[in-house]
Homo-oligomer: A and B are copies of this chain.
C-alpha cells in the first residue's frame, strides 16, 4: 500500500491526486502523493468527500478545498507560547524532514468547509457569526498556548505519525495536569492521522487508553503512533505518549479505525461495522 510504484496504488478509491498530478508535468507520477505540500494536504484531509454524497454534503470541489487551505492559517507552526522544549523537539523533527524521511503535517481549524453543511437549524447559538462557524475541536481556541499546542510529523515508510504536544492551562483535569479527555483527544487526532495516511477516509471505531502517568500542564510530550495491521476496511493502530526524554510513559493506547465507503453515510457505516 505504501509502494511508490504509482498513484494506481493510492488508497483513495477515487483519488483526487491523480488528475492534479497530471497537471504538474514535473511531478513523477510514482511519487506524486509524497511530493508537495498541496498533495499532502489532500492526503491529510482524507475525510473529504470525493464527488459522492457525504452526510448532506453533495459535492466535493478539490480546487475549492485547496484554495481554502492555501488561504488559511497553519496552526502547526511555532508560536510565542511554545516552550523551549517544544521548539527543540520541533527543530529536531524538521531537520529529519530534509531527506524526506519525515513530513511535517499542516493543521487548520477545519478539515473541510462547506456552505451546504446546514447547522443553522440544529444549533441555537448566540450570534449569526458563531452559528455558521464550526471549528476542529483541538484547534478551537483563539488565544495561543491556552489549549492544544501541537504539531505532527509523518514517517510514511514506517507508517508512523508523531505529535509534539504541549497542553495549555485550559485543558485541566486534576489540578495542574491535563484532563484525561484532552489526552484522549490528542491521541485520537494523532492515531487518526496515521490511519488516514493508510486508508484515506476513516472513522474511529474503538479507542482504548491506559493512563500511566498524568501529563503536567505546560510540559511537552511526544505522542507516537503506528499502524500495526490492516485487515480489509479495518486499520489497527497503537500509540504511546512519553515525556521528551522518553523516561516517563504517560499513556498507551490501541485503536481500530474503519475505512469509509464514500457511497454510504457515516451513520450507515458505523452502525454496520
Interface presence of A270 (CB below 8 A)? yes
Please tell me how many copies of the chain the complex holds.
Answer: 2
Q: A112 — which chain B residues lie within 8 A by C-beta?
A: 175
Q: How far is the CA of A22 from the CA of B205 in the complex (A)?
A: 50
Structural contact, B211 and A208, CB atoms closer than 8 A: no
Do residues A271 and B212 form an inter-chain contact, with CB atoms below 8 A? yes
B188 close to A179 (CB less than 8 A): yes
Asked if residues B205 and A206 are in contact (CB atoms below 8 Å), the reply is no
Q: Which one of A24-32, A66-74, A117-125 is at the B interface?
A: A117-125
Check if A39 is an interface residue, CB within 8 A of chain B. Answer: no
The answer to whether B137 and A181 touch across the interface, beta carbons within 8 angstroms, is yes
Please measure, in the bound complex, the distance between the C-alpha atom of A180 and the C-alpha atom of B183, giving whole angstroms: 12
Find residues 173-189 in chain A having any chain B CB closer than 8 Å to their own CB: 173-182, 184-189
A200 at the A/B interface (Cβ < 8 Å)?
Answer: no
Q: Determine the residue in chain B with the shortest Cβ distance to A220.
A: B122
Q: A193 in the interface, Cβ–Cβ < 8 Å?
A: no
CB distance from A69 to the nearest CB of B (A): 15
Q: A134 → chain B, closest Cβ, in Å? A: 4
Give per-residue flags for A185-228: 1 if the beta carbon is below 8 A from chain B beta carbons, else 0: 11111001000000000011111111111101111000000000
When the two chains form their complex, are residues A185 and B182 in contact, meaning their CB atoms are under 8 A apart? yes
Docked complex Cα distance between A174 and B55 (Å): 10
Task: List, in ascending order, chain B residues with CB within 8 A of A97's CB.
Answer: none
B123-A270 in contact (CB<8A): no
Interface-lining segment among A6-14, A144-152, A157-165, A231-239: A144-152
Of the candidates B117, B140, B175, B205, which one forms a contact with A134 in the assembled complex, judged by CB atoms under 8 Å apart? B175
Q: Is the CB of B208 within 8 A of A209?
A: yes
CA distance A25 to B178 in the complex (A): 40
Residues of A within 8 A of B (CB): 47, 54-57, 80-83, 110-112, 114, 117, 119, 122-126, 130-131, 133-138, 140-141, 143-147, 168-182, 184-189, 192, 203-214, 216-219, 266-267, 270-271
Please name the 8 residue pairs, one residue from A and one from B, whose CB atoms are nearest each other, closest first. Answer: A181-B185, A122-B218, A137-B179, A184-B184, A123-B218, A208-B208, A140-B170, A134-B169
